[in-house]
Amino acid sequence: MHIKLGNIKDIPNINEKIDNSYNGTCFAYDWFLKLKNSEKILKIYDEKNNLIGFMPIFNNKNDRFITQSTMYIPYGGPVIFNLPNEERNKIRYIRNMEKALCQYLQIHYDEINFSTDNNIIDIMPFIRANFTPELRYTYKLDLSVGIEKIYKNFGGDRKKDIRKAKKRNIEFVVDSNVEYFDVNKAMKWESKYGFESTADFVKKYINKTIKNGKGMCFVAKENDKIIGGVHIAWDLNTAYILYSYYEEEYDDVAIAYIYYKMFEYLINNNVVKYIDFEGSVFESIEDWNISFGAYQSRFYNLHWNNKDNLYLDVYNYGDK
């Protein structure tokens, strides 16, 4: 296998290929990469010079650096179009692809930071190439089991939240025109900690997901006041919870109720099979995700630099 630098426009029908791939996500769609000013990709070829996948190169001021923020791009790494059927050949195929990527990346870049999606569980070629693996967890629900079974697996506090919301006649609104969803409030945490995204980008991104039929906003109203909102984006198989907020003078009942009704919306409209809570490194948020009966799914952030500097603080996330 070998790698060539290219552009997303080099691959016709790239979004369709992503949807039909082994592991592609909506964070590799061409319109998402264009919004991120990250149209460069690494094209992956087999021994017969057939294109078998690609890896996005997320934009950085330094062309010799690859930096992917999992705050805004949960999954990056290689997208594999096809895999052999036999399990032993799948393992070899993925490892050969990862070896080719390691060789190319370490020749052409000085510092590399990116994440894999949670279908890529074999990262041994990266480890052997001295990448530092950072183990991360996300939390997911299988929506195909139906809303009744999902609700049954909610923790007691979440069930109490749903009962409170119904008793208070909180209204669930599908906000397809982004009429009610407040982007600035949804970015309050990011603003506090100085992350790089802007409200302007998020507005463009949210509107793009809805326009392309790959996302939606949902809000909760009480007495005509918006008390919370959630935005999700999705690909063929999975929806990802990306932005949310609630009015602190109320409580988090709004988000719990939106989640519940949002799951129901996705199921009733046959949108996707899974919902991904998009993980968190913060224990309190993990506990919140687990309280919906979500199961744990691992993925990796991979780090390397050409100075042989160890990444000793990859789990030092600060306070929230």
Q: Average pLDDT, stretch 33-41?
A: 93
Tokens of 235: 């690909």
Cα separations (Å) of 245 from 88, 160, 161, 248, 284?
Answer: 45, 20, 16, 9, 16
Please tell me the predicted confidence (pLDDT) of residue 309: 67
pTM of the model: 0.92
Residue ranges of the chain assigned to CATH 3.40.630.30: 139-297
* Superfamily of structural domain 139-297: Gcn5-related N-acetyltransferase (GNAT) (3.40.630.30)
Q: CA-to-CA distance for 157 and 184, rounded, in angstroms? A: 28
Cβ neighbours of residue 304 closer than 8 Å, sequence gap 6 or more = 105, 106, 111, 112, 126, 129, 130, 131, 132
How do 40-45 and 2-7 pair as beta strands? antiparallel
Please tell me the predicted confidence (pLDDT) of residue 283: 82
pLDDT tens by residue, 220-273: 999 999 999 999 999 999 999 999 998 877 667 999 999 999 999 999 999 999
Assigned fold of 2-129? Aminopeptidase (3.40.630)
